[in-house]
Amino acid sequence: MAHDPNCLFCKISEGSIPSQKVYEDEEIYAFKDINPAAPVHFLIIPRKHMPMLESAESQDAPLLGRMMELAPRLAKEQGCRPGKDGGFRLMVNNGADGGQEVFHLHLHVMGGPRPWNK
C-alpha cells in the first residue's frame, strides 16, 4: 500500500501523530477534525496515499465506495440524527482551487444541529 512519509494524514493513519480515532480497518482510517465546522465533523481517509480524488484510478473504486458506504454509519454513531429530519453533509475538496489544504484524499463528514458555526 502506497505511503508518503511526509504526508500529515499518512502519519495520522499510522499512529505517529495522535488523533481522535472514529474508525479504522486495514484500508480506511477515520478521525475527528481538529478544527470542526459542525457539531459532528470527522474525516474518512484511505490508508493508501492518494493526493486527491483526481488521483484515484479505476482500481480504487471499491475503496472509494467503501468510504462512501461507511459515512452514514459513522455519522449516526458520532451523533447525527438519521433520516430526512436529520442528516449530514459529505464534502471532498480537490486541489488548491477546490479548497484542499492537505494533499491526501479525505472525505469530510459534517452534521449535527444547525446552524453550524462556519
Q: Cα separation of 25 and 75, whole Å?
A: 17
106 counts as catalytic: yes
Please classify residue 104 by burial: count the beta carbons closer than 10 Å to its beta carbon, then call 0-12 exposed, 13-18 middle and 19+ buried: buried
Query: Residue 37: which region, alpha, beta or left (left: phi > 0; alpha: psi -120 to 50)?
Result: alpha
Catalytically annotated residue among 41, 104, 106, 108: 106
- Quote the CA–CA distance of 21 and 86 in Å, as a whole number: 23
Give the active site residues.
Answer: 106
